[in-house]
Amino acid sequence: MSEEEIELFNRIKSSGGPGRNRGNIIGFYPSDEFLRTLTIEYKAEFASIFTMGINTHYLWVGTIDSILLPATLNDNHEILIKHTHPKGTPQPSHFDINWLIQAQENGSPQIKSMILPIGIDRISFDINTPCI
């Protein structure tokens, strides 16, 4: 992990852990290792979101099996760069696929995203990928 990631990880840990189902501006693109480390530590899904129009990176945290992600607002499309699956599931859920479909229907240019299953290489998915 980068120094920036280690510092953020330590701040999250010292504050008692992350809040659930919320996003925080982090100001950098997080690595796969960082998101997986957070997932293992807190047994929750973590997502890297980029907001177009304001060029901001967010870290979103959910629960062990879900995450509530923001929807597109105006021209500031939310781009789901990648998210973890704490249980190791390598396929997208129907929620993952539906989020991507909705984003595209709202004008987002995003056509695919990535899943970071714990213990498995990352995979990319699009709206045609079979889901669980």
pLDDT at 78: 82
pLDDT at 51: 83
Q: Which of 9, 11, 55 is nearest to 29 (CA)?
A: 55
pLDDT in tens, 113-124: 999 999 899 999
pLDDT in tens, 16-39: 999 877 788 998 999 999 999 999
Highest mean pLDDT among 27-41, 45-59, 61-75, 102-116: 27-41
20: in domain: no
35: in domain: yes
- Indicate which CATH number applies to the domain containing 80: 3.40.140
pLDDT at 55: 78
Q: Are the C-beta atoms of 81 and 50 separated by less than 8 Å?
A: yes
Domain count for the chain, please give it. Answer: 1
Q: 35 is in which domain, residue-wise? A: 3-12+29-126
